[in-house]
Structure formats: structure tokens, C-alpha cells
């Protein structure tokens, strides 16, 4: 199945200046996004997932900058965008974002109707009554009842799940091509999470959106993603179809990540956790960033950064273990059982 | 809302009643000279006794209190004893208050007009030269004793711009310097708070979402941040405005403005109990009214505050 690329990140390097030091947050990432798919970017806190998507929207903090590489979208290289006017052509209009914490993401002093309408007016060219009608329509779309009454209410009159629906409505109101969901369910109750994910999936179909999910919750990934990119210390170390990454993972970090799923724990035993801490990004990283924490690390892992080894047409992993010369290593027992049990 | 206001009003009247009663009782504990004035020296002890009895000061305390409140409701605060003998206290206060109101309101208007925009710009250009300049100004005004720069202003600026050094009711130019001096402090505090609340708001998540939906920085500033930053200030605004009525002791004496500023001190020094009592009543009423108005204003501008139980959603 040949798919159309909608966004293409090539050799992106993002650095931050912090108290006179330079931190490399994104280390030479390349990633393609295909039209209509939903891609999940997973990784632990500080792995650079948020920085990556912020750079797509030009929302990096002031001390962050794109050092090299390009972000090709819609015929433009976003990494060259400097002025606000440049970004406003893309931000909101073509790429919209659902933010993390619905409790604080809405302006407490504006009615939710006005906040959605702001998007509608900005990006859909509607005014007055039309904009109002469209706003009501969007409220209905995200599953809010009694929309006329709700239109005039303030954020504090809504529950967390409802507010996240409104944040989603704001994003969809922009009529974007790409919707970025930055941990859309992290701040929500488990019971609400499933509803919000279902809503996002429905909207994706209805509005033909391409979505990027950023999350560290593998449960979310399994529910919504077509493809997964696993990030560690500012690099993508494995990327592939959801099934491939879940049930045929190749990178030891991905193994570790899946092993730490509570569902795989055995009763009475301690849950698996990855030993050690992620590397210091202020220092230059040599070889595979995960090597110091990796029980399967080879000598070369400490010397040279592994290239992407092809596992299948859609599945690539950055680990020397896939090199023909590498010793045969099989994933941990727990994982093998998991791969077999649910892989089919 | 109405229920809430009524409740707050009731509480305030009770507070006012308690304050006035306490002040009344305290003044009755003071030596009797406070009611005799200059006449004391000419009177024998018996005469003084008769005089005080005639004033009702030898009645039981509760009766005195009752009489005092009856007078109060008739708009009678008693007569000045020593300050301006036999002039009703209310008249004295009214005369002086007019000057302080004019200067006070002028200064508040000036400091709002200058201070709030200054704070906004400081927040917008945080860390740049305008912000530093403003911070420098604020630190100067707060840290340097006011009399130092008031005196400088009176001596030098009046000279440079050829402005009168002292207040003269019939010369509009003489209003400029006192107003300027009065506004310096409030400008600094409005700018400081406005900047601080703006910076607070700018770091909030909803600003990130507004940016992400493609709103321009300008619109974010004006339509999202400014109003939200003004809310915490709204609460104190009525109180600051009302309190300008009480005048500034230093500036009024510096420019010889016949305002309220020094009245309380004068009245206490001259042991004019009736004037002190009247002034305390005025000051505490102003304070309490300021607080209520602040609460009400806050409730009007901030939809999250639903005053009074029962009418909140959920």
C-alpha cells in the first residue's frame, strides 16, 4: 500500500541553550508521516517527544532552536520559519494540537463557546451567526449535549473529560490536516480515557485527519495507533506498524518498555523496571544512548551509533543486535510469552 | 448575588458597630480634658464637673452610648472641642475632605493610566530594557524614603518647569506637582502587580493552547492575558480609591494643602475627642465599604466566583 507523505522530518537536530550550556534534545531524527494514519510517539519523560512536536508547530521555548535538518510540510521547510507571520500560516490552520491537561488548558474567563469560536473565526473564515452555528455543530461532534446552554458556560462548569472534549473541539475547529495529541488522556480518569480515545478516532475518520499521539501509555498506543515510533534520549530507536513493534520488537529498549507493562507482571513478583537513568543530554552521546542500561549491549554499542536495520518494509530498529555479525539474542522470557500469546 | 451582597452588608454594619463602640469606649477612658478644651484652665473643679455633666459625660456609659448612636443617626457627630471650638465635627471633615478627594481621585486616575500600561509593557518586553527601566523605577520609589524625592521634586522640578511650589486653590497649575508626587508610589505598585500577574498568566497552559490554535501574540496579550491579569487587582481597587480620601499627611503638609491628611494627628495631639471619634468612624466606614466593593467587583469580572451558596453549578 503506497501512501502519500504529508509531513517529512529529515535529520532534525534540536538544541537548547540552558545557563550557558547546550543541550541536544533531538539527535538527528528522520520520520515520515503518511496521510490519514495515526502515529504514536512513545518514550519516557524527557525523551524528546514533546520537543519534537513542538518544533513542528513552532512552539519551542525561546531558548530552543533547530540546529540542522528540515521539516517538510506542504511544500515548505518549517525549520526555516522564523517570524510569527510564517508560523501562523501553519499553526492552527493546518496543524492543530490537543494539549495535555484539560484542567488548565482553557482560559478560565472566557465561555467555552467563545474559545471554540475563536478558532472557527480564525481558520474557517466564518463570522457572526455562521460561526456560532459551526461552534454548536463542533460541540455536538465532540459529544456535548444541550449545546446552546453549554456554549455560554465557563470552563469551571465542566468536568475534566468534558473539558478535554472542548479542547479537542478547539483543535478540530481549526480544520487541520494534522492533529497532534500531546498525552491527551494522561490527566483523565481511566473510565474517561477510553471515551476520549474513541472520540478522537471517530473525529479522525469524520474529518480525515492525520494524527500524532504523544504518550508514554502503551495502552493508549495499542488502542489508537497504526504506527509507533519509540524514542529514547532524543532519538527514534524503533519504528514500525503497531503490531510489529508490540509483538516483534527488536530494540532492547522497546523490550524493556513492554516488559514494564503492569499487565505482564507476575503476581507476587516485583514489576519490571528499567535500571539506571537516561543519559545526560548536555554531554555528547556516543554509540547507542541506551547501551549503559542495556544488559544485551555489545562492544560496538558504546562506540558507534547503530544505523536503522530493516526488519520489514515498515519496521526498522536502531540496534546492532540486528547486524548479521551480532550474536543471536532473544528477548526476555516474559516478552516471548507475550509475543506468542497475543501476536497471532 | 443579591443575597450575598445583603449578607456582606449585614456583616459590615456589625463590624462597623463594634469598631465605633470600641473607639467610643476607649475615648471615654481618656482624661476629661479632651472635652474641656482651653476653657479648662479658667474653670474651677466644680465648674468643670457641671460642664461635663451638662455634656452628658457623667451619665452611665450605656446611656452615653445610646445618646451617641441617636446623634449619629441624625447626622450629628458632636462639636469640635479644641480643634475649631464649637464647629460641628461633620463640617470640619467635609471641608477638608473635598481637597483630599480631588487630589486622591486625580492621583488614582493618573496612576492607573500610567501604572497599568507600564506593567503591561514590562510583562510584554520582559527582560528587555523597558522592563529593566520600569523595575529600576519601582525599586527606587519603594526603597528611597519618599520625602527625599518629594523634596527634590518640590525644589527642582518646580523650578525647571516654572510651577508653583505651594498649593493655591485658585491656580490650576499648582495642582500639578502634588498630583505628580501622590501618583509616584501608586504607579510603582500598579506597574509591579500588573507585570507580575501578566507574567503569571503568560506562563499558564491556556496560553499555550491559544498559541497552538494560531492566535497572534497581540491577540493573546489583549484578549486573553490582560483581562485575566487584571482580576486579582480588581479586588483591591475600590479600597485604594476610597482610601485616597483620607489624604496623605506628608504631601499635604509639604504643599500646604488643607486636606484630611494631618487632621487625625492634629485632633489627637489637641485631645479633641469628638473629632477623633468622627474621623475613626469615617476611616473605618471607608475601609469596610472598600472591601465590599472589591468583593463585588471581583464577582462581576470573574465568572468563577459565584457568591453565596446554592447558586453554584454542580
Q: Per the CB < 8 Å rule, is A119 touching B303? A: no
Interface test with A, best of B200, B214, B227, B299 (most A CBs within 10 A): B214
Q: Give DSSP secondary structure letters for B147-168.
A: HHHHHHIIIIIHHHTT--SS--
Query: In this predicted structure, what is the pLDDT of residue A12?
Result: 92
pLDDT above 90: percentage of residues in chain B = 10
Strands A178-182 and A95-98, by their bridges, are parallel
Superfamily for domain range A5-225: P-loop containing nucleotide triphosphate hydrolases (3.40.50.300)
Q: Per the CB < 8 Å rule, is A174 touching B213? A: yes
**pLDDT digits 0-9 by tens, B232-258:** 888 888 888 887 777 788 888 888 888
Contact call for residues A253 and A82 (beta carbons, < 8 A): no
Residues comprising chain A, all counted = 344
Collapsed DSSP state (helix, strand, coil) of residue A211: strand
User: Cell 540552558 appears where?
Assistant: A18
Confidence of residue B311 (pLDDT cuts 50, 70, 90): very low
Task: Indicate the domain borders of chain A.
Answer: 5-225, 231-343
Q: Is residue B166 part of a domain?
A: yes
> Quick one: average pLDDT of A75-88?
86
Strands A38-42 and A227-232, by their bridges, are parallel
Query: In this predicted structure, what is the pLDDT of residue A80?
Result: 87
| B156 touching chain A per CB within 8 A | no
Q: Per the CB < 8 Å rule, is A99 touching B302? A: no
C-alpha cell at B231: 482580576
Torsion angles phi and psi, residue B49, rounded to 5:
-60, -45
Q: Which residues 6+ apart lie within 8 Å of B101 measured at CB? A: B244, B245
Query: In this predicted structure, what is the pLDDT of residue A246?
Result: 87
What is the rounded CA–CA span in Å between residue B199 and residue B73?
A: 48
> Quick one: average pLDDT of B41-50?
79
pLDDT over threshold 90, residue B175: no
Q: Is residue B70 part of a domain?
A: no
Query: In this predicted structure, what is the pLDDT of residue B34?
Result: 66
Q: Is residue B108 part of a domain?
A: yes
User: Cell 510584554 appears where?
Assistant: B124
Q: Per the CB < 8 Å rule, is B205 touching A104? A: yes
pLDDT over threshold 50, residue B7: yes
Question: In this structure, what DSSP letter does residue A288 have?
Answer: -
| pTM of this structure | 0.79
Contact call for residues B64 and B56 (beta carbons, < 8 A): yes
Query: In this predicted structure, what is the pLDDT of residue A113?
Result: 93
pLDDT over threshold 50, residue B95: yes
Burial of A283 (0-12, 13-18, 19+ CB in 10 A): exposed
Q: Which ranges in chain B belong to alpha helices (H)?
A: 2-29, 33-36, 45-55, 61-73, 89-124, 129-143, 146-152, 158-160, 176-202, 205-212, 217-219, 226-234, 237-243, 249-254, 263-269, 273-301
Query: In this predicted structure, what is the pLDDT of residue B157?
Result: 85
Query: In this predicted structure, what is the pLDDT of residue A115?
Result: 92
CA distances from A11 to A29, A67, A147, B101 (A): 5, 10, 46, 68
Q: Out of B206, B227, B303, name the one closest to residue A104 (CB).
A: B206
Chain B nearest C-alpha distance from A88 (Å): 6
Contact call for residues A285 and A233 (beta carbons, < 8 A): yes
C-alpha cell at B183: 501618583
Containing structural domain, residue B220: 95-265
Query: In this predicted structure, what is the pLDDT of residue A341?
Result: 67
Contact call for residues A38 and A211 (beta carbons, < 8 A): yes
Mean pLDDT for chain A overall: 87
Query: In this predicted structure, what is the pLDDT of residue A1?
Result: 47
| A60 touching chain B per CB within 8 A | no
**pLDDT digits 0-9 by tens, B184-208:** 888 999 999 999 999 998 888 899 8
> Quick one: average pLDDT of B129-133?
91
> Quick one: average pLDDT of B34-53?
75
Contact call for residues B276 and B83 (beta carbons, < 8 A): no
Collect all residues of chain B within an 8 Å Cβ-Cβ radius of residue A92.
212-215
Residue in chain B lying closest to A180 (CA) = B212
Going by C-alpha positions, the residue among B52, B58, B78 that lies closest to residue B43 is B52
pLDDT over threshold 60, residue A299: yes
Q: Which residues 6+ apart lie within 8 Å of B37 measured at CB? A: B81, B82, B85, B272
Confidence of residue B77 (pLDDT cuts 50, 70, 90): confident
Q: Per the CB < 8 Å rule, is B210 touching A157? A: no
Q: Per the CB < 8 Å rule, is B212 touching A59? A: yes
What is the rounded CA–CA span in Å between residue A213 and residue A183?
A: 7
pLDDT over threshold 60, residue B27: yes
Contact call for residues A9 and A73 (beta carbons, < 8 A): no
Query: In this predicted structure, what is the pLDDT of residue A149?
Result: 92
Confidence of residue A212 (pLDDT cuts 50, 70, 90): very high
Q: What is the CATH number of the domain that holds B203?
A: 1.10.3720.10
**pLDDT digits 0-9 by tens, A264-296:** 777 777 888 888 888 888 888 888 888 888 888
Does the ipTM exceed 0.90? no
What is the rounded CA–CA span in Å between residue A10 and residue A28?
A: 8
Q: How many domains does chain B have?
A: 1
Neighbours of B76 (CB within 10 A): 13
Amino acid at each position: 500500500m503506497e501512501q502519500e507523505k504529508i509531513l517529512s522530518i529529515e535529520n532534525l537536530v534540536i538544541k537548547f541553550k540552558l545557563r550557558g550550556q547546550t543541550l541536544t534534545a533531538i539527535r538527528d531524527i528522520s520520520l515520515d508521516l503518511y496521510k490519514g494514519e495515526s502515529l504514536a510517539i512513545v518514550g519516557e519523560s524527557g525523551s524528546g517527544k514533546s520537543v519534537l512536536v513542538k518544533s513542528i508547530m513552532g512552539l519551542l521555548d525561546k531558548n530552543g532552536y533547530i540546529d540542522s535538518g528540515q521539516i517538510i510540510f506542504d511544500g515548505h521547510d518549517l525549520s526555516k520559519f522564523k517570524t510569527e507571520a510564517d508560523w501562523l500560516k501553519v499553526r492552527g490552520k493546518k496543524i492543530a494540537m490537543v494539549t495535555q491537561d484539560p484542567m488548565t488548558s482553557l482560559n478560565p474567563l472566557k465561555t467555552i463557546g467563545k474559545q471554540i469560536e475563536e478558532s472557527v473565526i480564525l481558520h474557517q473564515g466564518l463570522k457572526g451567526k455562521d460561526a456560532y452555528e459551526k461552534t454548536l455543530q463542533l460541540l455536538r461532534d465532540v459529544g456535548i449535549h444541550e449545546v446552546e446552554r453549554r456554549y455560554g458556560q465557563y470552563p469551571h462548569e465542566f468536568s475534566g473529560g468534558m473539558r478535554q472534549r472542548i479542547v479537542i473541539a478547539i483543535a478540530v475547529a481549526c480544520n487541520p490536516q494534522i492533529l497532534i495529541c500531546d498525552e491527551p488522556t494522561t490527566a483523565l480518569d481511566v473510565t474517561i480515557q477510553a471515551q476520549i480515545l474513541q472520540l478522537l478516532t471517530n473525529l479522525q475518520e469524520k474529518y480525515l485527519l492525520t494524527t500524532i499521539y504523544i504518550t508514554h501509555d502503551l495502552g493508549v498506543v495499542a488502542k489508537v495507533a497504526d504506527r509507533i515510533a519509540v524514542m529514547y534520549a532524543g532519538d527514534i530507536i524503533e519504528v514500525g506498524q503497531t503490531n510489529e513493534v508490540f509483538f516483534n520488537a527488536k530494540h532492547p529498549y522497546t523490550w524493556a518498555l513492554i516488559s514494564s507493562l503492569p499487565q505482564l507482571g507476575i503476581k507476587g513478583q516485583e514489576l519490571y523496571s528499567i535500571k539506571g537513568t537516561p543519559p545526560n543530554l548536555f554531554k555528547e552521546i556516543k554509540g547507542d544512548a541506551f547501551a549503559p542500561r542495556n544488559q544485551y549491549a555489545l562492544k560496538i554499542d558504546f562506540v558507534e551509533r547503530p544505523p536503522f536495520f530493516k526488519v520489514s518494509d515498515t519496521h526498522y530498529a536502531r540496534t546492532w543486535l540486528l547486524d548479521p555479525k551480532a550474536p543471536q539474542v532473544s528477548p526476555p522470557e516474559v516478552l516471548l510469552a507475550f509475543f506468542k500469546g497475543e501476536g497471532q | 448575588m443579591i443575597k450575598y451582597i445583603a449578607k456582606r452588608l449585614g456583616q459590615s454594619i456589625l463590624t462597623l458597630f463594634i469598631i465605633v463602640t470600641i473607639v467610643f469606649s476607649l475615648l471615654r477612658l481618656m482624661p476629661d480634658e479632651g472635652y474641656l478644651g482651653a476653657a479648662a484652665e479658667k474653670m474651677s473643679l466644680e465648674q468643670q464637673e457641671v460642664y461635663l455633666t451638662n455634656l452628658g459625660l457623667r451619665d452611665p456609659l450605656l446611656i452615653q452610648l445610646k445618646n451617641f448612636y441617636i446623634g449619629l443617626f441624625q447626622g450629628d457627630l458632636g462639636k469640635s472641642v479644641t480643634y475649631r471650638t464649637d464647629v460641628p465635627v461633620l463640617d470640619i471633615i467635609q471641608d477638608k475632605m473635598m481637597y483630599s478627594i480631588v487630589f486622591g481621585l486625580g492621583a488614582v486616575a493618573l496612576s492607573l493610566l500610567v501604572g497599568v500600561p507600564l506593567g503591561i509593557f514590562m510583562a510584554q518586553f520582559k527582560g528587555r530594557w523597558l522592563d529593566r527601566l520600569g523595575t529600576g523605577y519601582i525599586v527606587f520609589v519603594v526603597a528611597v524614603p519618599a520625602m527625599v524625592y518629594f523634596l527634590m521634586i518640590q525644589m527642582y522640578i518646580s523650578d525647571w518647569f516654572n510651577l508653583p511650589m505651594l498649593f493655591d486653590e485658585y491656580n490650576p497649575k499648582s495642582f500639578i506637582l502634588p498630583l505628580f508626587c501622590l501618583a509616584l508610589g501608586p504607579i510603582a505598585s500598579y506597574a509591579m502587580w500588573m507585570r507580575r500577574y501578566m507574567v503569571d498568566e503568560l506562563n499558564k497552559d491556556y496560553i499555550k493552547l491559544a498559541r497552538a490554535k494560531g492566535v497572534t501574540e497581540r491577540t493573546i496579550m489583549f484578549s486573553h492575558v490582560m483581562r485575566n491579569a487584571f482580576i486579582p487587582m480588581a479586588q483591591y481597587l475600590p479600597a485604594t480609591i476610597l482610601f485616597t480620601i483620607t489624604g496623605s499627611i506628608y504631601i499635604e503638609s509639604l504643599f500646604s494643602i488643607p486636606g484630611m491628611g494631618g487632621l487625625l494627628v492634629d485632633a489627637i495631639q489637641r485631645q479633641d475627642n469628638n473629632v477623633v471619634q468622627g474621623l475613626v468612624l469615617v476611616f473605618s466606614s471607608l475601609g469596610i465599604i472598600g472591601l465590599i466593593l472589591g468583593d463585588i467587583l471581583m464577582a462581576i469580572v470573574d465568572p468563577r466566583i459565584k457568591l453565596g451558596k446554592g447558586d453554584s453549578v454542580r
